[in-house]
Amino acid sequence: MNHEDSRKKELKIMLRRKKKREQRDWRLTMKRLRKFQKDVLNERSSRD
């Protein structure tokens, strides 16, 4: 295994990690969004 190969491998791993992190961030964002929408809905219904 030469230097080039190991670099490619590292890049692959980094990319995978990045992807995972982005997915997790995305899920968290969606959760927050949903909670926010729920809160807004609750406020509306309590105001009526």
Position 48 scores a pLDDT of: 67
Query: Phi/psi of residue 2, each to 5°?
Result: -95, 180
Position 1 scores a pLDDT of: 63
Question: Over the stretch 9-19, which tens digit does the pLDDT of each residue have?
Answer: 999 999 999 99
Q: Is this model's pTM higher than 0.75 or not? A: no
Position 45 scores a pLDDT of: 85
How far is the C-alpha of 47 from the C-alpha of 28, rounded, in Å?
29
The dihedral of CA 18, 21, 26, 29: what is its sign? Answer: negative
Position 35 scores a pLDDT of: 97
How far is the C-alpha of 7 from the C-alpha of 47, rounded, in Å?
59
Tell which wins on pLDDT, 45 or 1.
Answer: 45
